[in-house]
Amino acid sequence: MKSRLTKHLLTLARTGSFLTAVGVFAFDANNSLAESARNTPIVLAIQKAEPAVVNIQGNKTIKNSTASGQSIRQEVNGMGTGVIIDRRGFIVTNYHVVDEVARIEVTLADGTSSIAKLINYDPETDLALIKIPTDHDLQVIHIGNSESLLRGETVIAIGNPFGYQNSVTVGIISALHRDIPVNGSQQYNDLIQTNADINPGNSGGPLLNIEGEVIGINVAVRVGAQGIGFAIPIDTAVEVMADLVANHRETAHGISFSKCGDVILNEKLGSHLVVREYLGSESNSSRDIRTGDRIATVDGHPISNRLELELAMLDVRSGQSIELGLDRNGVKLAHSITLNASTNKPEADIAKIAWEQLGIRLTAVPASSVAGVGDEYTGGLRINDVRPGSPADRARLLPGDIIVGMMDWKTPKMESLTWILSNSSFRTAGSSNYYLVRKRARMTVAMIPEISSPSSSAQSSSARNASRDIR
């Protein structure tokens, strides 16, 4: 029966090109059509992403307590995974993978190894930025988005579980927006849950969609369970990594951004970067950068998120200019901005500056504290104390007042205040307007700061985890 069926199909195959394809496809396993059937979307996604995935090895010493209460030091081997985010060798991974590791050994997909340097990290989100030396451009991961994820859609994890390098597992998105406690003092928020197998060694590696784009950074598993793993949404990771890159830079661009959204560009759905506020000096030719402008390019290179923008500006020195390509309601514009020395400072220094120059002690408060007063406010700075005889005292500012703006700029966080107090426009303006919320009502006062003799601490170097909204 089998031989007659085979003969019949091959006879039919001679009668037309379509049937020829059918016949060869069915019986010639080495044919290109048979090969293409094996190249499933999952296979293609892995091939697309894998060159940008690295394995991480390292040793660190930990302290353990014996039954008698004595403390002993023990060296442990650690492993994890990372994702290349920039051609120059910048890699994102989990902070717990590289925390206190003296020698971070990174192995690329092609088998070459090098020693990485820890550049910056954020313990709250458990993300870290490391860098390896390279003499050529490295392949970078393709970044997707996590805002439009669907429960049940296919996802792929690539990592280094238990030291088995470049292992691939496949599953689905089981749930979204999971909050997972780690211990009594730490919690992961808004995670992606997946049943793709994630094990020790997968930490810091990519969770991919079917297009081969990273939509999450694998971070944790449920101890004692199977098929319950978690990943940090890539939208969150991109914002945190953008902060880490910006705080590593020695320059600041003075632009804050609205939340990235989706837009149709060249008939494809993609993200875009929209200006919320520009804090550039008046000497810049781009003073007319406006709220709502979309930044499309940096020095001619297309960008779609904050991380790409911060990376594009990484090698620009203070005083140098960079050209931004803008889209304003469909009109293409080009503006040049000059980057200035970074003014990021530790929060203790920010507080000291505010006390010395303005005479106030401040605490950042969320948007809910000024809700209903102005929809444009995303937070403010509450006055906790006023120094007698200070500029704030003379302007009759009171404890409980919330500063929501100064001059033309909003003050949602302490870092915003740092930028403003260091800005030449503010320092030479003399009297400036301060916008306050007092007992749910808006008011404006004028004040002259004491800026003639700033403290030496005010000139300290940039903080590791300074401003996340204002540059």
pLDDT in tens, the chain (471 residues): 444 433 333 333 333 333 333 444 444 555 666 667 889 999 999 999 999 999 999 887 665 655 666 666 666 677 899 999 999 999 999 999 998 888 999 999 999 999 999 998 888 789 999 999 999 999 999 999 998 999 999 999 999 998 888 899 999 999 999 998 876 556 888 999 999 999 889 999 999 999 999 999 999 877 667 889 999 999 999 988 988 888 777 677 778 777 555 444 444 445 678 887 776 654 444 447 888 888 989 988 888 888 998 998 888 887 888 889 898 888 898 888 887 765 555 555 677 788 888 999 888 887 777 777 765 677 889 898 899 999 999 999 999 899 998 887 888 877 778 778 777 677 777 788 899 998 878 899 998 888 653 333 333 333 333 222 222
Say if residues 359 and 387 touch (Cβ distance below 8 Å).
Answer: yes
Residue 154's φ and ψ, nearest 5 degrees, are -70, 135
Mark whether 96 is an active-site residue. Answer: yes
In the set 86, 96, 167, 293, the catalytic residue is 96
Q: Is the torsion defined by CA of 52, 207, 80, 306 positive or negative?
A: positive
| pLDDT at residue 282 in the model | 45
**Number of alpha helices (DSSP H) and beta strands (DSSP E) in the chain:** 11, 27
pTM of the model: 0.65
Mark whether 203 is an active-site residue. Answer: yes
| pLDDT at residue 280 in the model | 61
Which residues face 191 on adjacent strands? Answer: 178
Report all structural domains of the chain as residue ranges with CATH numbers, in order of start. 2-38 (no CATH), 249-341 (2.30.42.10), 347-459 (2.30.42.10)
Torsion angle defined by CA atoms of residues 425, 431, 435 and 439, in that order, rounded to the nearest 10 degrees: 160
| pLDDT at residue 59 in the model | 84
Q: Is the torsion defined by CA of 459, 462, 466, 467 positive or negative?
A: positive
Interior CA angle at 356 toward 395 and 412, to 5°?
70
Distance set, CA 312 to CA 120, 309, 330, 369 (Å): 17, 5, 23, 36
| pLDDT at residue 156 in the model | 97
| pLDDT at residue 337 in the model | 85
Quickly tell me which residue has 């090098």 as its tokens: 114
| pLDDT at residue 246 in the model | 83
| pLDDT at residue 61 in the model | 66
Say if residues 190 and 175 touch (Cβ distance below 8 Å).
Answer: no
Say if residues 241 and 93 touch (Cβ distance below 8 Å).
Answer: no
Torsion angle defined by CA atoms of residues 187, 189, 193 and 197, in that order, rounded to the nearest 10 degrees: -40
Mark whether 136 is an active-site residue. Answer: no
In the set 167, 174, 203, 342, the catalytic residue is 203
- For residue 370, give the DSSP letter: G
In the set 86, 122, 126, 235, the catalytic residue is 126
